[in-house]
């Protein structure tokens, strides 16, 4: 087999699903993005997506108990892409099924609920959800 | 990390933000605003050194906008392109006054 220059790196982080672990999660992600020469714009979009998803798991998946989240990060080069998978064993929840906010309303009528996942859908190239083995599995992919 | 610098001039109040406005730091800004907004007619956010904003940060901006609609005006200055992109995607560029 001749390699066409495509390389793949997979890393995994298992961490308590608590909002105060957010900085650690972002550091884990940013380290790989920087190594992959990700543009600042794509990095910010990915960071925002990771924050929205992780905080969502931290706030809702296990409440009031505590649990863990697994974050799997797969970077590819030639062409560059990053795929991040979030896995939790909390209550089944498909964030992609949440009704999208009306982003055309005035400040007076705007609600901010659902805005986070809306930003994820708009800024990532692929977003998918499945519930398998009693686990929520949310995957995002961004071409970088 | 978020650094907040406040400058008051009569009924005008400037909030200069530096760093990240995210889930961890947004409550800090929310608290400062709660303490400072009384009597303010012109609220100015200086975003030149703000590098990152998530929906938690947007939430605080929206509630300040709603508050300022009742008592004066709110302006956001010197927004970086990466953050402008987020304002555009979320429709916030239509709600906020950005200079």
Report if residue A120 sits inside a domain. yes
Q: What is the CATH number of the domain that holds B55?
A: 3.30.750.24
Mean pLDDT of chain A: 90
Please check whether residue B91 touches A, CB under 8 A: yes
The total number of structural domains that make up chain B: 1
Report if residue A82 sits inside a domain. yes
In this predicted structure, what is the pLDDT of residue A5?
63
In this predicted structure, what is the pLDDT of residue B18?
98
Report if residue A9 sits inside a domain. no
Report if residue A11 sits inside a domain. no
Report if residue A86 sits inside a domain. yes
Tens digits of residue pLDDT in A104-141:
888 888 876 678 898 899 999 999 999 999 999 999 99
Q: Which residues on A lie below 8 Å from B23 (Cβ)?
A: 19, 22, 51, 55
* φ, ψ for residue B73, nearest 5 deg: -135, 160
pLDDT bin (cut points 50, 70, 90) of residue A100 is confident
| Share of residues in chain A with pLDDT > 90 (%) | 63
pLDDT bin (cut points 50, 70, 90) of residue A70 is very high
Q: What is the CATH number of the domain that holds A127?
A: 3.30.565.10
Return the closest-CA partner of residue B40 out of B61, B9, B18, B17: B9
Distant-in-sequence, close-in-space partners of A97: CB < 8 Å, separation ≥ 6: none
Tens digits of residue pLDDT in A25-53:
999 999 999 888 888 889 989 999 999 99
**Is there a contact between A119 and B89 if contact means CB atoms under 8 Å apart?**
yes
Report if residue A3 sits inside a domain. no
Tell me the residue range of the domain where B88 lies. Answer: 2-95
Q: Which residues of chain B have pLDDT under 50?
A: none
**Is there a contact between A48 and B58 if contact means CB atoms under 8 Å apart?**
no
Tell me the residue range of the domain where A131 lies. Answer: 16-143
CB A50 within 8 A of CB A26: yes
């Amino acid at each position: 087999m001749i390699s066409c220059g495509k390389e793949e790196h997979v890393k995994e982080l298992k961490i308590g699903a608590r909002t105060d672990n957010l900085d650690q999660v972002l550091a884990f992600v940013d380290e790989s993005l920087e190594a992959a020469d990700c543009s600042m714009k794509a990095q910010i979009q990915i960071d925002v997506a990771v924050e929205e998803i992780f905080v969502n798991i931290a706030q809702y998946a296990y409440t009031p108990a505590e649990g863990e989240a697994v974050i799997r990060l797969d970077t590819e080069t030639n062409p560059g892409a990053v795929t991040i998978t979030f896995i939790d064993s909390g209550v089944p929840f498909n964030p992609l099924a949440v009704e999208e906010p009306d982003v055309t309303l005035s400040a007076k009528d705007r609600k901010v609920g659902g805005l986070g996942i809306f930003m994820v859908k708009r800024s990532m190239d692929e977003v998918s959800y499945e519930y398998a083995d009693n686990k929520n599995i949310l995957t995002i992919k961004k071409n970088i | 990390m978020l650094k907040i610098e406040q400058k008051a001039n009569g009924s005008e109040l400037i909030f200069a933000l530096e760093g990240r406005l995210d889930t961890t730091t947004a409550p800090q800004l929310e608290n400062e605003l709660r303490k400072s907004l009384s009597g303010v007619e012109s609220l100015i956010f200086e975003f030149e050194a703000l590098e990152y904003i998530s929906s938690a940060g947007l939430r605080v901006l929206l509630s300040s906008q709603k508050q300022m609609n009742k008592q004066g005006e709110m302006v956001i200055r010197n927004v970086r392109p990466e953050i402008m992109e987020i304002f555009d995607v979320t429709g916030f560029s239509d709600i906020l006054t950005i200079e």
